[in-house]
Structure formats: structure tokens, C-alpha cells
Structure 1
Amino acid sequence: MTDSILSERRGSAAWLTLNRPQIHNAFDDALIAALTEALAAADADPAVRTVVLSGNGSCFSAGADLNWMRGMAAASERENREDSLRLARLMRTLQFLSKPTVARVNGAAYGGGVGLVACCDIAIGVDSAKFALSEVKLGLVPAVISPYVVAAIGLREARRLFVTGEVFDAAEAQRIGLLHAVVAGTELDEAIERQLYLLAKAGPLAQREAKRLALRIGGAEMTEAERIDTENAALIARLRVSPEGQHGLGAFLDKRAPAWITG
């Protein structure tokens, strides 16, 4: 495992911490691979009852790393599709993990960071956290994370946030269902420990089956998720290499306004 993910056992809980604080815990290939591997290892470990996911520093995750985005902007459609499938596998692994998962949202979450929060069973965030699904501002869409975000916040709210790309605060994140609770920064760890205490009271087999039941009744099945991920990876790959996607990515990376902004 690389240093991009810190893995620590605290009792029966596996704490996985995104560890790129100097760039706000942004995603790149190494982080995606390391987190996918760490989640699979925690799932396979019979001594692990729960998984806590957090970020090192002041942010949870700012989404895509700029250098990674530059590489994808220059990559072929096939390479972009393969890249998106790796991110999709990470989200799917987290969504369908057999053990309860808790998002410790210690700060801002954007793009893929919102996806990670949405995939966790329980999400508690600090009151100063900000969130955004800002892909449309780059001429793109939040394709890979869309099934999990829509499941977390509902179709109506997802439609609004997908098309505006607006930044919203922790109170709004709780209102729409992305966060279950919002606390002061000094109270975050106490709130997480409270959830771990409650989770430890349940039978592990019943807990696993209860999670599987909720996902199944909600329409989330692994085989269907894989099919949707394949379609969404193709969509984002196509948009990344499209004229609008190329222009939007270029404008963002060059820190200039895209041509479609008229007001």
C-alpha cells in the first residue's frame, strides 16, 4: 500500500485516511488503487467490524488531482474509459462493502469526494464543510459517482446540483441527505465514536444481511451496478475528449473562464 492511504486499526474498526493533505486529498491513479485495495483488505479481515473513512488535514477530498486531470485531458477515449472504470470499481467496492462504513467528513468534499461520502452507510461532517458537484462547469458530468449520489440525496436534488454545479454547505448537505449529522469540528471524533459504539452492539452477520437487504430493496444490485458503471465510464470518456470537454478542461487548468460564460 502507498502512503496516499493511511490504514490504522482501532479496536474492531479499520480507519482509512486519505493522505494527500498538501493537495486536499485529491484523487489520482495511486490513491484510487490504494483505497480500493485497503477497502478489500478490511472487508476480508474477520477481525474488522466497521470501516471509517476520513481525510488528513483540513479537507476530506477535493476530487480529481490537477495533474491527473491534465493526463486525462490528453488521453484517448479508450484510456479515459479505462481510467473511469478504475474509479467506478472503487465506488462500487465501497458501496457494496459487507461491513458498515462511516464517513468522517472532516472538511470539504468535491466531485469524487462527494461520491465517497454518498457510498458510506453513515456520514457525519463538520459544520464548516463545503460540497460541490461542479463537473458541468468543466463541460463534464459526475457520471461515475451519479448512481451513489442519486441514491443518497434523491433524484430531484441531484438534478439541481448536477446542472448548477453550485457549492453548498454542511447544513444543506444534511437537509438533502448526503450527511446524517453535522457537528462542530471539536465534536467530530466524539460523534464518530458514538456511531461505532452503536454499531458494535449489533450481530455482525445480521448487520451484513441488513445492509444487503437495504441495498436490494433500494434497487442496488452488484451486477446492475457493474453494467451502469460501464455505461457511465463510456459517457465520461466521450465527454472528456469532446470539443466542449476539451475546452472546459483546458480553461479550468489554465485558470481562465470557458467561452460559454456570457454573464
Structure 2
Amino acid sequence: MKIATWNINSVRLRIDSVLRFLKEEAPDVLCLQEIKCRDEQFPARPLRSAGYEHIAVSGQAGYHGVAIIARAPLKDVETRKFCGKDDCRHIAATLPGGVRLHNFYVPSGGDEPDPAVNDKFAHKLDFMKELAEWSVGEAQTHSKKAVLVGDLNIAPREHDVWSHRQLLNVVSHTPVEVELMNAALEKGKWTDVARELIPEPEKLYTWWSYRARDWRASNRGRRLDHIWTSPPLRKAALSGGRAAFAIHDHCRDWERPSDHVPVTLTLDL
């Protein structure tokens, strides 16, 4: 089973890119974040025409939003409101074989890494704390087979950013964010698939700012997009080796690209 995750940064604006990616990579399921549209505005028709007939959407006008697109039926679709906010940052569904898939879009946190003066950063920290506590129950409830994917907006390791030293006080790589992500990983007993298959010191990025005139030349990236698996899926996630995992950075060169690129994992089920 090939699972893909992509912060598309407006699915209606970039539907041609989504269709191109589906044609080229043929994942069984694609999780999108930051779709930026209401449920009824989601471009389902071209996706169904491309063979992805099963779609679950949690959207809102202009901001955030997540979706799951699949070839096979999606069962038990649900959403969870984190931090008491109905801002469409989570959607889950059960895939064939009983795999429970969770698609997340964690708050970006704004620019100032101080929760006392930045409500957006405070929200992000609260979200990650709740995610860690939720992971405890998720590990117990769906300990059989669970996958967590999405734009988690945190680059946790030294080599997940272009400069560890220069980004220590930049939102997405601050010690408090990294600590909270590590707590979620530990409490949920999740496997961070990318770093299990591609250990440091190799650099891994999934996001590059629009501000760079030549993103590839400057290569000031961050690994913000993640795929985690529960203990019973650890072997299925890792047995294919490095070839089973991919960061599709060539998509960053496409016309009107997202600042994120797709990430895929083939589970050996």
C-alpha cells in the first residue's frame, strides 16, 4: 500500500499538479493538507475521473482543511477538534486491511516563538501537547495498524533544517517544539519512518520558502512533512528499505508549486 502526504497550499489552485502526481506516482491513498476550501468546493470530479473515487474532506473557507483521496473505500471517517477549535486540522479513515490513517495539519505557529506574546505559537504548543496525550489513547485503541501523516510544521532534528544553529530560535525548530514532538512520538510509540530509513547526518527537507529566488540553489529547506507508523506497522514500513520511502522534491519545480513537496511510503502489508 503506497501512502502519500502533501501540503498542497490550495487544492483548487493546484489540482493539475495533484492529478499529475497521481498519474506519475499512482499512490493508493493521498492525504492533502491546507486545501483552503469548503467541503462542497473540493474538486472531487477530476479526482474521481482519475480513479480516486473515495474522498473524505474536512474543509473551511479560505484556510486550513484536510482531505483523504483513495482508490479503495474509506471506512469510519471521522474528524477531531484539537484545542477546542473547529479549524479542520484532522481527518481519519480506515483503509483496506484495517489500517487506520490519520491526516494532520498542525498550526504553523506564526513568527514569534513566544507564547506569551504570540497566540498562534501558544496554539501550536497546545495542539502538540494534546496530540501527545491523544497518541497514548491512539496507541491503545488502534495498536493493530495506525499511520499518522501530514504537515506537522516541526523539523525536529539537527539535519532536518538547513542550519540548526541559525534556526534554533525560528518557529518550527525551537527546542520547545522539538520536545513536544518527541513526546508525541514517545507516548504514541510511533516510528518516524523517514529517520529510521535515512539516518542523520543526511539532510532531509520537504519544504522550501517561496522567498528564495532559486530554491534549489539556496536549498534552505526544512523537514516539516512526516509519516509515522504504530508498532504493529513498523516492520511493514521499514522492510522495503530506503526505496520504499521518497521525498518528491522535483514537484517543487512544477508550475505554480506548493512550497511543500509530496512524501510517499510503500507499506509491505
- TM-score, reference length from structure 1: 0.32
Indicate the structure with greater strand content.
2
Indicate the structure with greater helix content.
1
